[in-house]
Chains A and B, each alone.
Chain A
Amino acid sequence: MKRREFLKLAALSPAALIALNTGCRRTASPAKRVIVLGIDGMDPFLLRSFIHEGVMPNAAILMSSGGLNRLGTSNPPQSPVAWSNFITGYGPNVHGIFDFIHRDPSSRLPYLSTSRVIGPDRIISISDWRLPLSGAKVELLRKGEPFWNRLTDEGIPVKLIKLPVDFPPDKGKAKILSGLGTPDMRGSQGSFTFFTDDARSITDVTSGGIIVPVRDYGDKCYVCPIRGPENSMRAGNPDMRVEAKVWVDRDADALRIDIQDESTVLAAGEWSRWLKIRFDAIPHISSVNAIGRFYVKEISPRLKLYLSPLNIDPMNPALPISEPADFSSNLARDLGSFYTQGFPEDTKALSRGILSDEEYLQQAWIVLDERLNLFHHELSNFKEGMFFFYFSSLDLNIHMFYRVLDHNSPLYTSTNPRFKSSIRELYMQMDRVIGDALSAKDANTEIVLLSDHGFAPFNRSFNLNTWLAEEGYANITSPHSRNQDMFAAIDWASTAAYGLGLNCLYINRSGREENGIIPPDQVPDLLLRLKRDLESITDPATGRRVIDNAYITSDIYPGPLPPFAPDMIIGYARGYRSSWETTLGSYPEEVITDNLDPWSGTHCVDPGVVPGTLLSTVPLSLPDPNLMDMGRSISSLFDVPVLPPGGRNIFSDTDD
């Protein structure tokens, strides 16, 4: 029944009036404002324990309204997949995001699953110069219709800040600032630069960043080359570069950084503000702007200078990060520059030992402070409609500091005890955010807090590819290349299956993969055999099962699947996850090893292990809420004639 019809009946019927006064459902009175807090990685079990400790009083208030619910997550429970479920109301078979990375079946080369850059159609080449006649485009690879389109179609304002898996932002009537999935200026998910003259720090290969050796030739000056994005206007697309001059004053334990015409002074142990760096493709005519933050780790005796990944400048964005386009520059004008990359916390710098725990946490709090500024700014301007705000801090910091929560972590004893409260502090900060939302609440406002998944420890790494090779599903012909990425060790003519990404397993299928050998009619049997074998693996060190469930993709996502879809999704047991080596196709010696990376928490396990969290001022009418239900349910709080098709309305048991 439509709301207006119901109100008409209610007005005519005294009995209905009594019912309205006594026990009618809250959804009968549609909210004019809905605040949706998207807190990536908020774990319902941790949340409950902190509420019971009494350190999250605002979450307790919210819990008293609608209860603390476990929110069904996606399979696999990875953020891009889960947030796409939230946005579209459907699973990966519809939105097409199965993992952080997909592979091109013909080449098996991995690519980012959420977006891609398409070069200009027509180019005029003059000598070394290439002048594009049309602009390059960035394409969002997530398919499906966002649920808020039904709201904006009805004239309801929608604003989504740091929205995951929405780079470039959907064109439409909603105001969007893209979040998770937004690359840095080099097109990666975050690539730091570390300048040093300390030979011990200099290594050839560092994923997640580059280490640049520099030298003081006696004039107290280091020339630091900053590598920018590729110059698509020059033949061969060379990297654009800018030189920073760093003048050190060892007596003052401070330095001065000169970049282009800008200078900044920093003491050792200090973070710079955002510095603008302009990369000229064609001097004076075409340039791209980046922003970066320096951190002076050490000046004497050795220079150790960290430069954050170069972020897209929100004031003059080189790529579309907001809708409308000037939304980001307006925010930057009001609040100053801010992190625009999807993964702002530099977890790679911590994993590689470039930043210490302490330094990483400083950076993480800079990110969170910026995010809080943005949240307060937008909350104070929120008048009507739906306001979604996304926080990444819990997710990325729990990834790095789960080791302080779990006694079984191989790093538990070696982590400084003073960081043991870091996760609690972050949850308490999130509680203050909930408190701010509650302060803004009035009779016409509802608040929904949701997370895409929970968390589990990542103590043991499972080398899926090594296991496949040991069990005869893959054939290693170049043992010396085992540790090289991209299946360098493999003979494809005698390999049946391979792992790539965090939860995905692929069959080397003939007609789909290059040099594929498994005929399509043999694939179902092979998958069943793999499922049986994978689910029976036990860890010799602990005697525990490594994999809870190996899901055959076509079983859980019926219907035609795109060629980039995995054939199997691995649901690891609590405490286990695929190794970093597996994600990029290498074959280390051992099948299961201790995880000694500070990245000690994970959610890339079985979805049953890591449900998300749902708190709401609206009580639930249906059990077992799922992320896919949320778009429809949130839309039902407004007066819209047609709800989005995906999911269920969990706020009503008589969903029309």
Chain B
Amino acid sequence: MYPFFPPEEEIFSVIQMISIAASVLSGFFDIILLPFRMLPPFCGLLFISLVSGLGMIFVFSRVSNQKKISRLRKRMGGEVLGILLHVSSPGTVIRFAWRLICSNTLYLAYILKPLLVIAVPFMLVWGQLDARYSTEGMKKDLPITVTVQYGNGLPARENLDIKTTGVELIPPVVMVDTLDEASFRMLPESDNLRSLEIGGTVIRVGRTGNWSGCRILRGFDSGGSLKRLFCPWIGRINRTEEGPGSGSYSLPDVRYGVLGGYWSWIAVFLVFSTLSAIVGARVFKVKI
């Protein structure tokens, strides 16, 4: 079947490499956000958003063909002017409009390459911010709900074996057989490392969000590879036969007070990174 299905040892080495890359990336963001750890989370989010905007415009300037874009923009300006100057001549307007459509298509082609180059780091940054700024962290003495998915049928209630370290399990356990899910509450007892063991599968519960901008685990699964890199809020488990395949912790969303409204981290990131990219393009004379 090879080359479509590489040997098992190669699969593991790829997973390991991606896991290492994910750890390095998360560590990198931890270091960048270190100065903001005592400040409100918005500060770190704003910083990353501004830097990302500048970074994207820098990459764009390096990867794109600035001369071609500049020429094309001038041409497009001329075409718009042509439409405005010949409003009374429908034939000319249509000709200029057609040229403008062609120029736009060409423009999209010019920026395709830089956008593709930017896409991967953009998604990595997106994942890191999602992991750090979209939900509140666990709090000591505040119960959170854990939902575990089995995928291949729920165990019988009496066979559901849950052991805890550093967290207290609060009954009851709600079993939803139509979803193959079991849910229960747990209470973090301390800020130390905590874990659950369900049917022999060990699940690292993760941090409590006790410093601003830290990575907050919102779930876990036994799958591997790229998810580690792009979804750093998901922890990895080694599934046993009796254990669940994946699960999630229910953590409340965070909103940020900006200009009288409550913005999601996505809105903050998109607005401020765009603003910073526009300002960066003006300052560094990048044609976009």
Measuring CB to CB, which residues of chain A are less than 8 angstroms from any residue of chain B? 135, 219-221, 247, 249, 251-256, 260-265, 267, 273, 276, 278, 284-289, 316, 336
Chain A residues, Cβ within 8 Å of B145: 256, 262-265
Who on chain B is nearest to A135 by CB?
B260
How many angstroms from the CA of A234 to the CA of B171 in the assembled complex? 43
Contact with A along B250-277 (1 / 0, CB 8 A): 1111010100111110110000000000
Minimum distance in angstroms from B241 CB to a CB of chain A: 24
Report yes or no: A256 in contact with B183, Cβ–Cβ below 8 A: yes
How many angstroms from the CA of A135 to the CA of B252 in the assembled complex? 27
* B184 at interface by CB-CB < 8 Å: yes
Report yes or no: B147 in contact with A261, Cβ–Cβ below 8 A: no
Q: Which of B23-31, B173-181, B208-216, B280-288 contacts A (4 or more CB under 8 A)?
A: B173-181
* B67 at interface by CB-CB < 8 Å: no
* 14 A/B residue pairs, CB under 8 Å, sorted by A: A220-B177, A221-B178, A249-B172, A249-B176, A251-B157, A252-B157, A252-B175, A265-B170, A284-B263, A286-B261, A287-B262, A288-B262, A289-B255, A316-B257
How many angstroms from the CA of A260 to the CA of B252 in the assembled complex? 9
Chain B residues, Cβ within 8 Å of A262: 145, 250-253
Report yes or no: A265 in contact with B183, Cβ–Cβ below 8 A: yes
* B185 at interface by CB-CB < 8 Å: yes
* B143 at interface by CB-CB < 8 Å: yes
Report yes or no: B178 in contact with A265, Cβ–Cβ below 8 A: no
How many angstroms from the CA of A252 to the CA of B156 in the assembled complex? 12
Chain A residues, Cβ within 8 Å of B184: 265
Report yes or no: A255 in contact with B250, Cβ–Cβ below 8 A: no
Measuring CB to CB, which residues of chain B are less than 8 angstroms from any residue of chain A? 135, 142-143, 145, 147, 157, 170-179, 181, 183-185, 248, 250-253, 255, 257, 260-264, 266-267
Asked whether A287 and B172 contact (CB < 8 A) given A247-B179, A265-B145, A316-B262, the answer is: no
How many angstroms from the CA of A285 to the CA of B135 in the assembled complex? 17
Q: For B172, B173, B248, which residue has the most chain A Cβ atoms within 10 angstroms? A: B172
Report yes or no: B175 in contact with A251, Cβ–Cβ below 8 A: yes
Report yes or no: B174 in contact with A256, Cβ–Cβ below 8 A: yes
Q: For A135, A249, A276, A278, which residue has the most chain B Cβ atoms within 10 angstroms? A: A249
Chain B residues, Cβ within 8 Å of A263: 145, 147, 183, 248, 250
One of A247, A276, A286 near B252 (C-beta < 8 A): A276
Chain B residues, Cβ within 8 Å of A135: 260
Who on chain B is nearest to A280 by CB?
B264
Minimum distance in angstroms from B194 CB to a CB of chain A: 18
Chain A residues, Cβ within 8 Å of B171: 267
Asked whether A254 and B250 contact (CB < 8 A) given A219-B178, A263-B145, A265-B145, the answer is: no
Minimum distance in angstroms from A299 CB to a CB of chain B: 10
Report yes or no: B267 in contact with A252, Cβ–Cβ below 8 A: no
How many angstroms from the CA of A286 to the CA of B261 in the assembled complex? 6
Asked whether A284 and B267 contact (CB < 8 A) given A251-B157, A265-B184, the answer is: yes
Asked whether A220 and B176 contact (CB < 8 A) given A256-B147, A263-B147, A285-B261, the answer is: yes
How many angstroms from the CA of A135 to the CA of B260 in the assembled complex? 9
Tell me the interface secondary structure of chain A in the complex.
strand
Given A256-B174, A287-B255, 14 further pairs, Cβ under 8 A: A220-B177, A249-B172, A249-B175, A251-B175, A252-B173, A252-B174, A255-B174, A262-B252, A263-B145, A263-B183, A264-B185, A284-B264, A285-B263, A287-B262
Chain A residues, Cβ within 8 Å of B142: 273, 336
Report yes or no: B174 in contact with A265, Cβ–Cβ below 8 A: yes
Chain B residues, Cβ within 8 Å of A255: 174
Report yes or no: B262 in contact with A254, Cβ–Cβ below 8 A: no
Report yes or no: A267 in contact with B266, Cβ–Cβ below 8 A: no
Minimum distance in angstroms from B46 CB to a CB of chain A: 16
Chain B residues, Cβ within 8 Å of A288: 262
Asked whether A278 and B253 contact (CB < 8 A) given A256-B183, A284-B263, A287-B262, the answer is: yes
Who on chain B is nearest to A252 by CB?
B172
Minimum distance in angstroms from A627 CB to a CB of chain B: 37
How many angstroms from the CA of A278 to the CA of B255 in the assembled complex? 10
Report yes or no: A267 in contact with B172, Cβ–Cβ below 8 A: yes
How many angstroms from the CA of A37 to the CA of B178 in the assembled complex? 54
Leading 3 A-B pairs by shortest Cβ distance: A263-B250, A254-B172, A263-B145
Minimum distance in angstroms from B14 CB to a CB of chain A: 31
Chain B residues, Cβ within 8 Å of A254: 172-174
How many angstroms from the CA of A316 to the CA of B256 in the assembled complex? 9
Q: For B142, B145, B173, B248, which residue has the most chain A Cβ atoms within 10 angstroms? A: B145
Report yes or no: A256 in contact with B173, Cβ–Cβ below 8 A: no
Report yes or no: B255 in contact with A316, Cβ–Cβ below 8 A: yes
How many angstroms from the CA of A252 to the CA of B172 in the assembled complex? 7
Asked whether A260 and B175 contact (CB < 8 A) given A251-B157, A265-B145, the answer is: no
How many angstroms from the CA of A253 to the CA of B260 in the assembled complex? 43
Who on chain B is nearest to A276 by CB?
B252
Chain B residues, Cβ within 8 Å of A251: 157, 175
Who on chain A is nearest to B185 by CB?
A265
Minimum distance in angstroms from B76 CB to a CB of chain A: 27
Who on chain B is nearest to A318 by CB?
B262
Minimum distance in angstroms from B70 CB to a CB of chain A: 34
Chain B residues, Cβ within 8 Å of A286: 261-262
One of A247, A276, A285 near B176 (C-beta < 8 A): A247
Who on chain B is nearest to A219 by CB?
B178
Minimum distance in angstroms from A325 CB to a CB of chain B: 10
How many angstroms from the CA of A336 to the CA of B136 in the assembled complex? 13
How many angstroms from the CA of A260 to the CA of B255 in the assembled complex? 14
Who on chain A is nearest to B268 by CB?
A284
Chain A residues, Cβ within 8 Å of B260: 135
Report yes or no: A253 in contact with B172, Cβ–Cβ below 8 A: yes
How many angstroms from the CA of A262 to the CA of B266 in the assembled complex? 18
Q: For A252, A255, A267, A286, which residue has the most chain B Cβ atoms within 10 angstroms? A: A252
Chain B residues, Cβ within 8 Å of A287: 255, 261-262
Who on chain B is nearest to A285 by CB?
B267
Chain A residues, Cβ within 8 Å of B185: 264-265
Chain B residues, Cβ within 8 Å of A276: 252-253
Who on chain B is nearest to A218 by CB?
B178
Minimum distance in angstroms from B156 CB to a CB of chain A: 11
Report yes or no: B250 in contact with A249, Cβ–Cβ below 8 A: no
How many angstroms from the CA of A528 to the CA of B179 in the assembled complex? 72
How many angstroms from the CA of A255 to the CA of B143 in the assembled complex? 16
Minimum distance in angstroms from A311 CB to a CB of chain B: 15
Who on chain A is nearest to B145 by CB?
A263
How many angstroms from the CA of A366 to the CA of B179 in the assembled complex? 34
Minimum distance in angstroms from A226 CB to a CB of chain B: 16
Minimum distance in angstroms from B198 CB to a CB of chain A: 15
Who on chain A is nearest to B250 by CB?
A263
Chain A residues, Cβ within 8 Å of B264: 284
How many angstroms from the CA of A484 to the CA of B17 in the assembled complex? 73
Minimum distance in angstroms from A249 CB to a CB of chain B: 4
How many angstroms from the CA of A261 to the CA of B130 in the assembled complex? 14
Minimum distance in angstroms from B45 CB to a CB of chain A: 14
Chain A residues, Cβ within 8 Å of B252: 262, 276
Minimum distance in angstroms from A286 CB to a CB of chain B: 5
Asked whether A289 and B174 contact (CB < 8 A) given A263-B147, A265-B185, the answer is: no
Who on chain B is nearest to A278 by CB?
B253
Chain A residues, Cβ within 8 Å of B267: 284-285
Minimum distance in angstroms from B148 CB to a CB of chain A: 12
